[in-house]
Amino acid sequence: MGLCWLLTSPSTPEMVRVSPRAFFIGKAMHYYQFNIGDYASHTRHLTIVEDAIYRRLLDAYYLHEHPLNACTTSVARQINAREYESEIQTILEEFFALTEDGWVNFRADKEIKHFHSKIEQAQKAGRASAMARLNRRSTPVLTDVQPNIKQETRNNKHSISKPDDVSLAVWNDFVAHRKLKKATITETVINSIRKESEKAGITFEDALSETCARGWQGFKAEWYKKSEAPIPPANHKWWK
């Protein structure tokens, strides 16, 4: 994965080119932005060696996030450029400032501070999100929910008790059958089936059983009589 750089010059870049695969590893800063145009305008006078040294110094500064050693020899060893101490000294004096802690780059320090600020914000957001999920799981479920009076009234309106002359097994089958048909059981339905069962000459319970067995939604005496009519033999000539 390639790195991308951010020029540590005092100017403010207008366009920044960033590698799409740039990332953070842990809490250390492992990438920085690089403005090609801004960098070129401030480093065009550098030799190829000086340019390479400057970039190595920036890499080391961002990677370790602390000032470079005040000793040029130590810095040369750190970036593996021992034979270029004079060039390193030139770059340090031009782009860095010597303090009691070592060579610092104020623009790089600003970017490092911004980086850690973003990390802290992300951590706070993550903790807040985790706490919210924990609170949702630990919130007790309210059990004193008010019943839906309108729904109960509608259900009671269509709720019919088992007739005394019907066994529990047959009644349960009939209730399940009507539910499958998405049809309610009302007093009107019960009275109609009872009346038709009398016409058919069977008991009310038998009428309910026939309704379930034949997949009828209701019961009609004429349906029952037709279903019970004997089937003529194949060689029977019905017109005689």
- DSSP assignment of 169-222 equals HHHHHHHHHHHHTT----HHHHHHHHHHHHHHTS-HHHHHHHHHHTT-SS--HH
As a whole number of Å, the end-to-end CA separation of the chain is 98
For the full predicted model, state whether its pTM sits above 0.85: no
Q: How far is CA 60 from its chain centroid?
A: 39
C-alpha–C-alpha distance, residues 238 and 230, integer Å: 13
Domain ranges of the chain: 1-119, 150-227
CA neighbor of 55 nearest in space, from 125, 127, 114, 3: 3
Residue 198's φ and ψ, nearest 5 degrees, are -65, -40
Query: At residue 94, what is the residue type?
Result: E
C-alpha–C-alpha distance, residues 184 and 182, integer Å: 7
| Per-residue model confidence (pLDDT) at position 236 | 52
Residues in the chain, pLDDT under 50 = 1-26, 157
DSSP assignment of 66-124: SPBPS-HHHHHHHTT-GGGHHHHHHHHHHH-EEETTEEE-HHHHHHHHHHHHHHHHHHH
| Per-residue model confidence (pLDDT) at position 46 | 95
Interval 128-153: pLDDT, tens: 888 888 888 876 665 555 656 555 55
| Per-residue model confidence (pLDDT) at position 234 | 55
103 beta partners: 68, 98
Interval 70-98: pLDDT, tens: 999 999 999 999 999 999 999 999 999 99
Give the pair of three-digit tokens for residue 119.
Answer: 């990390």
| Per-residue model confidence (pLDDT) at position 129 | 87
| Per-residue model confidence (pLDDT) at position 142 | 58
Which of left, alpha, beta for 141 (phi over 0: left; psi -120 to 50: alpha)?
beta
Residue 233: count of CB within 10 angstroms of its CB? 6
| Per-residue model confidence (pLDDT) at position 15 | 40
DSSP state of 158: T
